[in-house]
Structure 1
């Protein structure tokens, strides 16, 4: 039986730019880096070193050649934060594309785009 989400694969065109975006702009940490020495490398990132779920940044072009049957589209991810307004302002101040803050029954939410134009959402849950 499955009891948690361990890792999410995110296929990107430029792994180095993706790491820079997620760590320097969004505030994630690099958990590990792997390189098989033959061109296959991946970087594990997460909101903190203690997070139960992490994101693995893979080279989209290489994975497409190795496994053409895989869906390499961007997953629809919803992140949570305890200070949505501060995060929204911080991303905006870094010239990141952000959507308007919307009030939903479950909390405030907005979306943002990474350096490759992939969109993600973030929510501050209502109490």
Structure 2
């Protein structure tokens, strides 16, 4: 049976830089390893989070399995305080889309250091 643990693979040109990006958004780095000449980092929103992002070196993966790195994942993060989160991401210099209200929810997107887009929705 499946459990509640979900790990999402992200590919980055610079694993350390990508991990630092997510940490600047408030994520924590759970692990950073050197594996077979490549780097792998795992980050999460907290130590008890059931969703983790596992960041692999894009060049290493393409060299070993050129079909594995595409397409990029489409992730939607949730937030209970969209305005504060949006302001925090502005403060740390993250490239952001417009904060838009749709019905009772807000939504915006942001871009990581490798040009991947992510969405946040909530109140």
Provide the alpha-carbon RMSD of the alignment.
1.6
1:35 corresponds in structure 2 to 34
CA contact (8 A) 1:60 1:72 kept: no
TM-score of the aligned structures, taking structure 1 as reference length:
0.87
Aligned 8 A contact 2:58 2:69 in 1: no
Per the normalisation by structure 2, the TM-score is 0.90
Query: Which secondary structure does the structure 1 equivalent of 2:107 belong to?
Result: strand
Alignment partners' CA distance in 2, 1:60 and 1:79: 23
Structure 1: 5+ residue runs without aligned partners?
none
SS for the counterpart of 1:73 is coil
Question: 1:85 is matched with which residue?
Answer: 83
Following the alignment from structure 2 to structure 1, what is the Cα–Cα distance between the partners of residues 113 and 30?
A: 20
In 2: Cα distance, 1:66 partner to 1:4 partner: 30
* Matched positions, count: 123
Give the gaps of 5 or more residues in structure 2: none
After the TM superposition, which segments of 4 or more aligned residues of structure 1 sit over 4 Å from their partners? none
Question: How far did residue 106 of structure 1 move?
Answer: 6.4
Q: CA deviation at 1:34?
A: 2.2
1:120 pairs with one of 103, 118, 121: 118
CA distance in 1: counterparts of 2:89 and 2:117, whole angstroms: 13
Secondary structure of the structure 2 residue equivalent to 1:2? coil
Equivalent residues in 2 for 1:1-127 (5 A)? 1-24=1-24, 26-36=25-35, 38-105=36-103, 107-125=105-123
Secondary structure of 2:18's counterpart equals helix
Query: What is the CA–CA distance in structure 2 between the aligned matches of 1:4 and 1:74, rounded to whole Å?
Result: 22
Offset of residue 80 of structure 1: 0.9
1:89 positional shift = 0.9
Tell me if structure 2 keeps the 8 A contact 1:46–1:55. Answer: yes
